[in-house]
Amino acid sequence: MSRSQLRVLIAKPGLDGHDRGAKVIARALRDAGMEVIYTGLRQTPDMIVEAALQEDVDAVGLSVLSGAHNVLVPAVLQALQARGLGDVPVFVGGIIPEDDAAALRAQGVSAVFGPGTSTSEIIRVMESVVADRPPVN
Amino acid sequence: MTLADDVLAGDRRALARVLTLVERAAPEAREILAALYSATGRAHLVGITGAPGAGKSTLINALAAQLRASGDTVAVLAIDPSSVFSRGAVLGDRIRMQDLVHDAGAFVRSMASRGAVGGVARASAAAIDVLDAAGFDRVLIETVGVGQSELDIAALVHTVVLVEAPGLGDEVQAIKAGVLEIADIVVLNKGDLPHADIALRTLTLALSLAQPAAGAAAWQPRLQRTDALSKHGIEGLRAALDAHRTHAREGTRWAEQQAVRAKAALVSELREQLYTSFMEQLPPAQLAEIVAAIAARTRDPYSTARHLLAAHS
Ligand SMILES: Nc1nc2c(ncn2[C@@H]2O[C@H](COP(=O)(O)OP(=O)(O)O)[C@@H](O)[C@H]2O)c(=O)[nH]1
Ligand SMILES: [Mg+2]
């Protein structure tokens, strides 16, 4: 029915113990009318992908602050591919140098949001990427 | 293969997709539900309700692991309220259910109540049917209980588990709201906390008062103390669930519950389909005209509806 009510998984891969950023974005997306599934800290790529599959989300948002984005993000992309979820848009938020961001986009990340990105910008980009996706089935 | 066939064959992606279609009341959902219906009615449906923070999600994590150890497959439907302002939601129950993530015999789905009164989402009955048809032995449904809303869950499940925790002052709330009466099993979770003993005594007393002189065939609600974090008392909870399932199957509860749900499903489907088919044959221009007349007080909605229906049939 409604493409308007997006279901989004927000996940925090890696080992660092901070998820304030992830929680802030989860709440902002909720306030924009989305249904946000938040999975908590220390998620492995396989855990993230399994959750994305079970929850049938329209998009996956990864919050990466540990600096390990060059390892973690491609691992999630690969795990998604392996489970047949390669068409689910992936967004990344965190402190990520522009060169790395470009590399991540080249590998299939839909958008990378730096610390300065406003929540309204994040919401606008997510909605437009998901809307551009061909409908499933 | 249709999506329904895929669900029956155990395809988890198809299951997830069908749950979305059902939740969104997509046009194809009705046909899928029709195809799945004959495979429903087998799972043990368990409602797990209680105040926010009582430890329901943590308890489900521990309980599901216990059930899996005894060979049962487990689906969890975790229902959380939507924001009344934005209609959005943050669904965080999975945070506490990490033990189930890598288990092919477990499946966890989060659902927003989307403004349905009473905590249980409108689409949840259909979602439960889908999980039942997918072949899970147990379907655990987590709902936030605030006063009267627990009563909704009772109609959907075979067994109601009410989760309390010391210090919430909930024992008293539960007694006031009459919630204890619908509980088949009462869990005092966070049994590790300092006030657990007092809370347990209060609940024991409340339960004995809530169940006056029942017949021999009646179920006597069980009280189970747990510590969901360290997984104490979970074996006892599983035993209580099994005892209640046996009781329900051998007595009238199981059959009654099937009948209640069958009727509710038929009535809501009739209402929906009658309304849809009626509105389809009413030209939008005519509808607009009638609405304007009612707004202008030249007609009233009550006799207008009656006349329209009479002309329809
Ligand atoms: N001490 C203690 N804390 C618990 C127990 N069970 C859950 N908690 C904690 O209580 C909080 C709420 O738990 P959660 O499962 O999310 O509760 P829910 O809102 O009822 O689903 C979390 O911080 C849990 O870690 C328990 O048995 N003992
Ligand atoms: Mg919970």
* Domain locations in chain B as residue ranges: 36-251, 264-312
- Flag whether A127 is in a domain: yes
Q: How far, in Å, CA of B101 to CA of A42, rounded?
A: 13
Percent composition of chain A: helix, strand, coil (DSSP 3-state, to 5): 45, 15, 40
pLDDT in tens, A26-77: 999 999 999 999 998 889 999 999 999 999 999 999 998 878 898 999 999 9
Tell whether A137 is covered by a domain: no
pTM of the shown model:
0.91
Question: Does ligand 1 come within 6 angstroms of the Cβ of B55?
Answer: yes
B306 touches A: beta carbon within 8 Å: no
The verdict on the CB of residue B227 being under 6 Å from ligand 1 is yes
More confident residue, B167 or B27: B27
Q: How far apart are CA B241 and CA B61, in angstroms?
A: 15
pLDDT of B182 > 90? The answer is: no
Confidence of residue B151 (pLDDT cuts 50, 70, 90): low
User: Is a pLDDT exceeding 70 seen at residue B165?
Assistant: yes
pLDDT digits (tens, 9 = 90+) for A67-121: 889 899 999 999 999 999 999 999 999 889 999 999 999 999 999 999 889 989 9
Nearest Cα of chain A lies from the Cα of B98 at a distance, in angstroms, of 9
CB B190 near ligand 1, within 6 Å: yes
How much is the average pLDDT of B242-247? 96
Comparing B106-120, B259-273, B289-303, the range with the smallest average pLDDT is B106-120
Query: Mind telling me how many Å the CA of B116 is from chain A's nearest CA?
Result: 15
Confirm if B47 and B133 have CB atoms less than 8 A apart: no
- Contact partners, residue B268, CB within 8 Å, separation at least 6: none
Q: How far is Cα A38 from Cα B270, in angstroms, rounded to an integer?
A: 37
Q: Which H or E run includes A36?
A: strand A35-38
**Among the residues of B91-195, which ranges form H helices?**
124-133, 150-156, 170-177
Return the CATH fold of B36-251.
Answer: Rossmann fold (3.40.50)
Residue B175 pLDDT: 63
Q: What is the pLDDT of residue B115?
A: 65
Residue B228, both tokens: 């969901």
CB contact B94 to A (< 8 Å) = yes
Give me the domain span that covers residue A19. 3-132
Is B94–A40 a contact, with Cβ atoms under 8 angstroms apart? yes
d(CA A47, CA B178): 40
CA of B58, nearest ligand number:
1
**Beta-sheet strands, E only, within B28-134:** 44-50, 74-80, 89-91, 106-112
Write out the H or E segment, with its range, that includes residue A17: none
**Is B125's Cβ below 8 Å from some Cβ in A?**
no
Cβ count within 10 A of residue B295: 10
Task: Please indicate whether residue B101 or residue B154 has the higher confidence score (pLDDT).
Answer: B101
Average pLDDT of the residues in B249-271: 86
Ligand closest in space to the Cα of B79: 2
Task: Summarize the confidence of residues B210-230 as an average pLDDT.
Answer: 82
Pocket test for ligand 1, best of B79, B80, B229, B237 (most atoms within 8 A of CB): B229
Is there a contact between A55 and B110 if contact means CB atoms under 8 Å apart?
yes
Number of domains in chain A: 1
Which pLDDT band, with edges at 50, 70 and 90, does B202 fall under? confident
Closest partner residue to B88 (CB to CB) among A34, A39, A55 is A34
Helix (H, G, I), strand (E, B) or coil at A97: coil
- Closest residue of chain A to B13, computed from CA coordinates: A53
Contact yes or no for A38 and B86 at CB 8 A = no
Q: What is the pLDDT of residues B53-64, one digit of tens each?
A: 999 999 999 999
Chains A, B: CB pairs < 8 Å: 81
Ligand 1: residue whose CA is nearest its atom 7: B55
Q: Which two tokens stand for residue B123?
A: 């689409």
Interface residue B31 vs chain A (CB under 8 A): no
* Residue B49 near residue B147 (C-beta atoms within 8 A): no
- Let me know if residue A19 belongs to a domain: yes
Q: Which ligand is nearest to the CA of B146?
A: 1
CATH code (residue A111): 3.40.50.280
pLDDT band at A122 (very low <50, low <70, confident <90, very high): very high
Whose alpha carbon is nearest atom 17 of ligand 1?
B55
The whole-angstrom separation of Cα A30 and Cα A7 is 10
Is the Cβ–Cβ distance between A55 and A37 less than 8 Å?
yes
Query: Near ion ligand 2, which residues have CB within 5 Å?
Result: B 56-57, 93
pLDDT at A137: 47
pLDDT at B226 (0 to 100): 98
Nearest atom (ligand 1) to Cα of B51: 20
* pLDDT for the residue A107: 96
C-alpha B5 chain-centroid distance = 25
Mean of the pLDDT values across residues A4-28? 86
The radius of gyration of chain B from alpha carbons, rounded to an integer in Å, stands at 22
Distance from the CA of B135 to the center of ligand 2, in angstroms? 24
Calculate the average pLDDT of chain B. Answer: 89
